[in-house]
Each structure stands twice: as C-alpha cells, then as structure tokens.
A and B are shown apart, each in its own frame.
Chain A
Amino acid sequence: MTIERYCAPRTLDEALEILRAGPVSPFAGGTDLMPQSQAGRVRLAPVLMNLRRIEGMGGIAENDGVVRIGALTTMTQLMDSAVVRERLNILWQACDHFASDQLRNAGTLGGNICNASPAGDTLVPLLVLDARVELAQKPNGRIETRKLPLAEFLLGPGRTTRAPQELLSAIEIPLPAEGFYGAFFKLGTRPALDISAISIGLGALHDDGCLRSVRIAFGAVAPTAIRAARAEAELEGRLLDQDVIDAAVQAADTEIHPISDLRASGWYRREMVCNMLRRMLEDARSH
C-alpha cells in the first residue's frame, strides 16, 4: 500500500474536513499504527494525517469538577500533570507502568483509546474513573461533537463506535471525591516495556472499614477492557472482611473471558485476576 498524501493540519476544523473527504488514517504518536501497518495487520488509507500539529487538541484543564484531557496528550504529559498525579492517581499509576520513556513521550491518550486494545493500559483506570470520550466531526460545514461513556465507546479488539469521519477530541473525567482511593496493577513478564498479560484497576472511597462507590475494571481478560459490575456490587457498602473479599473474587471470576495467546494462557489470566484482585482488596483494607 502506498501513501498518496501526507498532511498535518493545524486546526481541528481543517482535520475534520480532510476526514470527511475521505479514507484517511489519522495518526498521533504512531506507536500503534506504524508497527501494525508494517506487520500488515492494518491497511493504511491513501491519506495519512498527522494529528500532532492540531492546536487545542492537547492539554489538561479542570473546570467545574471535570478534568478535560486533550486526545493528543502524551503519557509523559499525563505523568507531569499535578491534577493527574494528585486527583486521578490511578491514571498516573497506569502511565507509570506504560512501556518506556521513549514510548511515553510519543504515545498519546487518544491513540491508546482509539487503538482499543483489550490490554490498553489507560483504559482500565479511565473505566474506573467513569471517563467519557468526546468525538468531533464536520458533517455539513459545522463541527459537531458527541460525548459518551468510554465503556460504550469500546466494542472489541481494535473496534470502537468512532465513525470514520470522526476524531476523538478529548476525554472528560469527573473529579472523584477527595480521598478517593485508586490502585492499578499490571502483570507482565518484565517490569518495563511490556504489554499487560492482565491488568486490574480498583477505585473506591473508604468509609469506616467499608468501601463505597466501588469501581473495578480489568484489562486483557475480555474483548475490551471491562468494568466488573458484579464484583463491585459484592463490595459496595459492605464491611471489607475475608468473606466479602472471597465473594467479590468469585464474582469477578464470572465476569471475565480470558483467551490464551502469546502472553499468557486463559487459565493463568484467570488465576491472576483472582489472586491479584484479592491482594489489591487486602491492600485496600489496610490502607
């Protein structure tokens, strides 16, 4: 496949116009797109559009209890942000476990989301944080946007509800209450530069030995990163004792559908989800 045109629009408006005209491969950091097209797993469209020059599609801002993160924000920028570190710490932890410095400098949050890998490391904390995605398009001369919960955006490996003429413009995260506890766990063969064999996100508010607003998400054990509603329900408002932890782990076991691949067998993934969720809940209890 040869690329017929390369473009690097400066504005969202211009970019959406190019997208409307036609099959386009948008790329941000290129850290997924390039290896995937080289390996022949993704066919590049005739037009390659670099998103990185678009003004206003990056940056992290807090407004009215909502943190808005531009799709072009890199992992490094997330890690450097005080809001992310202090209020969305679970996302910060995931960035800390993400690949390597070089990849963190290039890879974007928008790219991680649109790539929709079941093992995408930011998806798990974003699900825990009830993030919403904002999509923009320009169907008839005017920019139109829509917002939807991340969980509805993700359809399957590499598949989302993004229409071809849409761009992911931003991610919005409602600020969790003060004291919100968040923990991210990632399992790989080595501590750096590895794709998750499984990952787990846990978020909750501590209340007198109980957990409230419990949110649990898993990566790499289903076609998309998923929330574990049944496990959350087992924990919600209950005193976090051994029985409750057992029940939550058992519930989680019913919510995952791990496959066997290069990184791990389905059996091992299931064992790890159970063992590590248990450990994380025990850690949360003593926190």
Chain B
Amino acid sequence: MAELRAKTSPQGSDPARGSLIGKRIPKMDAPDKASGRTRYIHDINLPGQLHAKILRSSERHAKIVSIDTRAAKALPGVHAVITAADVPWQRPIGVAKDHLPLKTDRVRSLRDEIAAVAADSVEIAEEALGLIRVDYAPLPVLTDPVAALAPDAPRIHPAPQGADGGPSLKPGLPVAYTGKPDNVAMVMEYAQGDVAAGEAGSALVVEDVFRLHYVTHCCLGVSGVIAEFDPSGNLLLYSNTQVPFLHKREFAELLDIDPGRVRIIQPPIGGGFGSKLDIYPFEPIAIFLAKITGRPVKLVFTREEEFLASPTRQPVLLKLRSGCTKDGVLTFREVETLHDNGAYTSWGATTPFVMMQTVSSLYRVPHCRYRTRAVYTNNPYAGSFRGYGNLQATFAVEAHMDRLAEALGIDPLEFRLKNAQDPGEVTPQGMHFKTCGLKDCLRTAAERGDFLRKHAANRARWSDGDPVKRGVGMASMLHVGGGAKIYPSDGCGTILKIDDFAHVTLITGASEIGQGSETVLAQLVCEELGLPLSAVTVVNNDTDITPWDVGVHASRTTFIAGNSAIGAARKAKDKILALASSKCGDAAEALDLAEGCVVKKATGERVFELAKLIRSLHFSDKAELVMTTHYYEPPSVHQDKQFKGDVSAAYAWATQVCEVEVDTRTGIVRLVKVTGAHDVGRVLNRLGIEGQIEGGIVMGQGYALTENLMVEDGWVRNPNFRDYKLVTAPEIPEIDVSFIETMDGEGPQGAKGVGEAPAICIAAAVANAIYNATGVRLTSLPFTPERVYRALHGAAQPLEWNVPQ
C-alpha cells in the first residue's frame, strides 16, 4: 500500500468543551511542516527510479529542422532520450487542446519542450541534455499582442507540419489539433442592458486604459511528478495537482486506457495558488518516459524552470469606459480587453468568466458590455492564479469608482455605498446574492481605517512642500464564495468511518494545498459529532481511496467539501442516536453527541460513552459499522452561452482600505496599513482565516508593488528570487481585519469561501491611495519606484488603446 498522508491533530489542542466554531485551531499539518518532517514530492524516491530532465527551446519561434539525440543516448547512465517522434500517439493537452507535450514541427516560446531524458541521476540527465543537437529555422517572432491582430502578423498556430512540409501528425492518430487560421485563441463577450442608452443617460463619463503585468505563483514547492507503471500497465502518479480526479481522466485519455487504471497520490503540496489546475507538458513527458523505460520516473523542476516554465497570471490590456448620473448612480460600463495568451492556451484565457462578474455585478450597473480577445504570441502562457482575473478587473473598476466620485465631488465611500449591492439582489448576469455584506464591509473598513478623515487631510497636503506624502485608498471586491459551477458538477464526496474507539477517519475528495482545508473539515466533523479534534484523521490524497471532487479552486473547498463532510457526519450521528435511542428508550431527537458521549439534549446528562456504544453495535449479532458517505452538490447552475446564471451557491465580499506613504523624491511607495473587512459568512477556524487573509493581502501587495515577471521580447529576464521580488517580512504592513458574519444559509455553519478574496483589492486600493497622496493616477502595474517616480514627474508614457477592432 502506498504511503498515505494521514494526520491527526496534536493532543491537547482542543478546547475542552463547547462549540469549536470560531475558535483558533492550529493547522493539523503545522507540526510536521515546522519540524521539517513533511515529505514533499522532492523527498519521495521509489526503488529503481530514474530522473528526468527536459530540453527546452532556445528559440522563441522556429521550425525544428532536426534533432540529433545520438550522443545523448550513448552517454552511460542514460536510459531514454525521447522526442515527439518517439511518441507519435501523444495528444494535445491544455484548455484548448492546442499544445503537444513534445513539439513536432515548431517551437512557439522559450519554454517549449523538444526532448526529454531519463537517466540514473539528475546530473547525468542534465549532461545528456547538453549533448542533444537541435537545428532550428527561425521564424518571425511575435511578442506584442497588439501586433498579433494585424492581418499580416506571423501565425503562431498554422496547421502542424513535419520537417518535410507534409502533415507531421499522421492521419489516423488520435491528435485532434489542426491549427488556427488567425492568432485569436479565444473571444468572450457579455452584454446586459443597452450601453448606448446608458451612456446617453450619463452626466459623466470616464475612460482609461489599464495595463496589468505578468506575475507568477512562486510556490515554494516547485512543480514535480513521479510516474510509475505496474506490470499490468496501471499508472501511478505522485503529483502536486490541484485537480486529481479531472487529471485522472485526462491522463487516461492521453494513454488511451481506462481511467480506472490511473491512480493519483498527492504528496503534501508546497503551494498551488491555481498554478496546478492544468496539465503541463512535463507531466505527460514523465509518463512517456516511465512507459518507455519501464521504470518509475521522477521529474522535479529547478527554481529557474519554475519561473520559466510554469504558468503566469494573465497579463491584460484593458479599456474601461464608465458613466453615472449627476446624482452618482452608475449608468453603464464598457470593457474591452486584450489578453496576451502566449504560445498556448491554458486557464488564463478564461479569466473573463470572473472579470465580467466584477464588471457587471460588484456594484449595480444597469448596462454593461464586455469583450475579451485572447491572442497567441511567442510569450509565456498564463494559467489560473488566485483571484482568476479579478485582480485585473477590480483594478480598473475601482479606479473608476474613485474617478467618478471625485468628478462629482462625492466622497469615495458614499459613492460606493450608493451603488453597492444589497442582500436579495439578483443581478442582470443572474447572480443571486442571498447574503451580501458589501455595505457593512464598506462602512467597517472605512471606519476602522479612519478613511474619510485621512482622505480629506491627505488631499489638503498635495502642495505643502513635504516630499513624503500620505494617502488612503479603498477598493471592494466580489468573488464566488460557494464554489463555481464551471464543470457539470461542482461537487465533493466524503466517506466517514468511526472505529470502535470512536476515532473518526474522514476521507474527503478535497485536496489540501496548504490552505488548511483538512483542519477546517475535521473541525466541522467534530462539531457535529461532539468530538475533540484529536479524534479525527483526515485522508485526502489518493484517488483510489478518496471519493470524487472537482478540485481545489474557486475558493470552494471549505464551502463544498465542508458541506459534504457535515453531510456524512450527520448521517453517522443519525445512526448513532437511533441506536442509542433503541437502547435507552429516549427519542433520538432528545439525544445529542457531546464530549465523546451520547447525552440528553435537555440536561447534558451522559447516557452512553460513544466508543462503547459503537463497539456494542459492531460486535453484536447485527455486526454493523458506522460508516457513511455523502456527496454534496451545491445549488448553483452552469452559466448559459450568454454567461448568465447563478454560478455560485454564495458570494463573498470585501472592502480593503490601504494606507501608503509615497516618497516623491524616489517614487518608493510604502504600504503602511491595510484595514480589511471581509464578508466570510462565518468564521470557522479563526486562526486559519486570519492566516489566509494575511497571506492573501501580502500576495496582493506583491502584485501591487514589487512582483514583476519581466518578459521582454519573449525572454524572461528575471527567473530567480533575487530579481523577481516577493514581499519580504519588513515590508508587511500593519493589518487590521474585521469579519462580517452574514451567516450564509447554504454555507457550512454559515461560512463562505475566502481563499482568493484577500488578494483581490490591494492593487486597486493602493492605486487609489497613491492618487490620494499625490494627485497622480497610475494605471499600469506594478508600482515599482521607477514607475511611480516617472508618473510623478511627468515622464511616464501614457497608455493608449491601439488595438485593431
């Protein structure tokens, strides 16, 4: 039996009695992580395992003329060197199935995989890469997404061809990919109301162009996989994926085998943040090598590879036009974006799903039009990243909330309150806000951040000679908080067993990626069963054992897997109380579970010790086990072709007030304080949610101020932590978070999802704060000292919308 990650919370950390909800509960995996005992994929080594390395393109756009692997194959210690020719049965992967793991006729970006080696050691594999000779015939390079739309632009995905000019993918082989006639990878359009009428009814209209840059996830645990086939051809993968059940199916398709023969085990994952939602070439490549060599094959990225070959956040050029009446009521919003899709299509291209929600429904706007074109270039490609387009959309929308308010002479808080959603609202896009704490978020964050007073005082200092200015800015956000039905099912399964010592094993489909889901799930189960956290073991990382789950994304796990775990626990409780009732004669409804016992609800008097009661059931002539299953499917709907529909079972809200100090002599912006108010439905694990929000704020801070994956002409110029600047400890601001508990009716114990929310508004609020400090509005991220200095001194290039129609 392969290693299972089973964790039990340390003894003694449980509150002695009473509800666990809202308590500060340390994460179950914290002791292992803090003491270095956690075994990540890097630490797993299988007997007979080979090490794999990938040869990537040295050209941004070129035809592959020839690949010579003879010298590499001859190197002692090398077991296999493969190119596309060795796996003619490979299939395209990714969101648009436009991406072959090993490239056949051409390379389209620097990360492109040309060949791969499996060898006795990483060092030998690396040496072998150096012996592979590739002849390229360079093609014109296209790295400007605007230029990609020109009629005479080089085509990135013409029909695939071999070196001989004929089709490289032989007819009859299972490759669906036929190329693209132009460089447009995806178009997404949404409309509500009548924008022209909205504009006609506006007293005020503003328009700006915004540019959102490349950042990347920087998971401390880099990408990696181990692939192994057993003698019957069953595939076992140790994988860091966030979507094990979806991938199981995809890998089976790739190999043309029954999905039942693919098993995925997730070792503890050192961070996901959305980066592990898609299949990337390295995974099939490791599988190919394992199949060809008949040995387990391990492939783990270096940090540099992680920067070069893992996905980025979607870079966006965005034009926004907004209007309102003279009384400050929003009239319309019109958005057009150009998404740089990069060389292949991954989830980044689909970020409009989320972006249009913010455009249409964060505030009440009767008329909206939204259009995105994602275009192919020879740049790196974008995936999903915490917030999923919402950081980009919120950045633009919240800049306009401030601009409109200022033009009307209304304060930014009042303007937002005037247009904010209320509970009960169904938006034109079809989202139904059964609970909505936006107005409370706005008022709370403004009050605790002393927003109005500071906002007025800072403005009065614009021209007082002091080179160091202060500013406050606010921004709000709307995000799915009850899953997101982007697949036919958004569900999650649970198996729960209580053994004869009343120890619970919670087997959940939900993946733990460091966010603390296993702790919160154990907590919800304990709350139902009246047990201490030490009585629960969570099993959550093996597709042969755990029931189906759609994956960890869209801030869904606490909500969906939480409801699923509660459902299973309630079934177990019903069974136990029915048994107790039959034994003691009291009605089951009059009994409860508390502190490891069956008790009388009214008095708390103990009737049975739970462990004994369960043993009496198990070792009786009935011989029954307490083992239950539950599948939770949220009451949300798949959006229709017009992108309308109530896609989530609940919606999360937040307002963040950021306070900055701007040194006008250097352009250095210091984030001094973040005051956040988050509608989280209800706080379950207070310690966990604080960590999640603080971490998200810091991630948003990096997006706003320091992080920048510098992609110039297709080259990544800073693939290392020295030059890619994450926020470090001294820069972390004072953080004040208030929780707005709207007690969502569908949420587990009233909670909503919160994973992505805290990162979303920071950049928008910081931009508004810089304006409040200096009177200068920045529309390009990130706010590095030089960019800010240029803007303050009139030396910035204004952004233009020069995108062909």
Contact = CB atoms under 8 A, between A and B. Distances in A.
Contacts of B729: 192
Interface string A166-200: 00000000000000000000010111111101000
A24 to B, nearest CB: 23
Given A264-B786, A275-B665, A190 B718 contact: no
Given A268-B789, A271-B789, A190 B665 contact: no
A264 B720 CA distance: 17
B723 interface: yes
A265 B790 CA distance: 11
Given A262-B718, A262-B723, A192 B786 contact: no
A279 B730 contact: no
Nearest to B793: A271
B731 A195 contact: no
A115 to B, nearest CB: 14
Contacts of A262: 710, 717-718, 723
Contacts of B728: 100, 190-193
B731 A190 contact: yes
Contact of A190 (B706, B710, B717): B706
Interface in B112-165: none
B788 to A, nearest CB: 11
B725 A194 contact: yes
B733 interface: no
B666 A190 contact: no
Given A262-B717, A262-B718, A275-B666, A189 B725 contact: yes
Given A275-B665, A275-B666, A189 B730 contact: no
A191 B717 CA distance: 22
Interface string A49-76: 0000000000000000000000000000
B727 interface: yes
Nearest to B710: A262
A35 interface: yes
A84 B665 CA distance: 30
Nearest to B670: A191
B666 A187 contact: yes
A262 B719 CA distance: 12
B453 to A, nearest CB: 28
A272 interface: yes
B781 to A, nearest CB: 13
B784 A189 contact: yes
Nearest to A271: B789
B722 A195 contact: yes
B281 interface: no
A35 to B, nearest CB: 7
A276 interface: yes
Nearest to B782: A189
Contacts of A264: 786
B22 to A, nearest CB: 36
Interface in B769-795: 784-786, 789-790, 793, 795
A51 B730 CA distance: 33
Contacts of A272: 666
Contact of A268 (B710, B723, B725, B790): B790
Contacts of A39: 304, 720
A262 B784 CA distance: 12
Contact of B785 (A35, A187, A192): A187
A190 B668 CA distance: 9
B730 A192 contact: yes
Nearest to A269: B786
Interface in B310-360: none
Nearest to A194: B725
A217 to B, nearest CB: 19
A265 B730 contact: no
Nearest to A185: B666
A265 B789 CA distance: 12
A276 B666 contact: yes
A194 B724 CA distance: 10
Contacts of B718: 262
Contacts of B730: 190-192
Which of A197, A265, A268, A279 has most chain B Cβ within 10 Å? A268
A227 to B, nearest CB: 23
Contacts of B723: 262-263
B663 to A, nearest CB: 10
Nearest to A272: B666
Contacts of B720: 35, 39
A265 B710 contact: no
A35 B722 contact: yes
A113 B417 CA distance: 59
Which of B717, B785, B786 has most chain A Cβ within 10 Å? B786
B786 A190 contact: no
A244 to B, nearest CB: 20
B500 to A, nearest CB: 50
B229 to A, nearest CB: 34
Interface string A230-274: 000000000000000000000000000000001111011001100
Contacts of B706: 189-190
Nearest to B724: A262
A250 B785 CA distance: 23
Interface string B644-670: 000000000000000000000110100
A194 B730 CA distance: 12
Nearest to A275: B665
Which of B710, B727, B784 has most chain A Cβ within 10 Å? B784
Contacts of B731: 190-192
Contacts of B790: 268
Nearest to A261: B717
A191 B705 CA distance: 12
Contacts of B717: 262
A275 B717 CA distance: 28
Nearest to A264: B786
Contacts of A190: 706, 725, 727-728, 730-731
A7 to B, nearest CB: 21
B426 to A, nearest CB: 45
Nearest to B127: A2
Contacts of A189: 705-706, 725, 784-785
A209 to B, nearest CB: 23
Contacts of B668: 187
Contacts of B727: 190
A192 B785 CA distance: 15
Contacts of A276: 665-666
Contacts of A194: 725
A74 to B, nearest CB: 19
Nearest to B795: A267
Contacts of A263: 723
Nearest to A265: B786
Nearest to B784: A189
Contacts of A187: 666, 668, 785
A276 B723 CA distance: 23
A198 B531 CA distance: 60
A184 B795 CA distance: 28
Given A262-B717, A262-B723, A268 B786 contact: yes
Interface string B668-701: 1000000000000000000000000000000000
Nearest to A193: B728
Contacts of B786: 197, 264-265, 268
A100 B793 CA distance: 32
Interface string A94-136: 0000001000000000000000000000000000000000000
B196 to A, nearest CB: 43
Contacts of B725: 189-190, 194
B699 to A, nearest CB: 15
Nearest to A274: B665
12 contacts: A189-B785, A190-B706, A190-B725, A191-B728, A262-B710, A262-B717, A262-B718, A268-B785, A271-B789, A275-B666, A276-B665, A279-B665
Given A187-B668, A194-B725, 7 more contacts: A189-B784, A190-B727, A263-B723, A265-B786, A268-B786, A275-B665, A276-B666
Shortest beta-carbon contacts, A-B, top 3: A268-B786, A275-B665, A192-B728
